[in-house]
Amino acid sequence: VLHGFYGPNTFAQLAMRTAFMFTMTAVVGGIVAARFPDPAFTKDVARKLAWLGILSAIAGVLVFRWYLTTLPDTALLVMHN
């Protein structure tokens, strides 16, 4: 039913974009957290954002591999050339 409306790589692309979003959230959050006046709070927020960034980057790599398996042959041909 879902493949009638969505393409075969829709959910892989959605998961890949979500993982990238969380990775960028950790990066921007770290920049914002560096400006907090309280050093203890900055350290706590930075530690949590670091874990978010690490886990979402790992998830992003795994999801990207899944996404590559859903691409049509013509897209793979363009990527390899």
Own/partner contacts of 9-13, CB < 8 Å, gap of 24 or more, are 9/67, 9/70, 9/71, 12/63, 12/66, 12/67, 12/69, 12/70, 13/67, 13/70
Give the predicted TM-score (pTM) of the model.
0.81
Q: Is residue 34 part of a domain?
A: yes
Residue 54's domain comprises: 10-80
pLDDT surpassing 90 at residue 9: no
**Residue 4 included in any domain:** no
For 17-28, the pLDDT digits (tens) are: 999 999 999 999
Is 5 inside any structural domain? Answer: no
Q: Indicate the number of domains in the chain.
A: 1
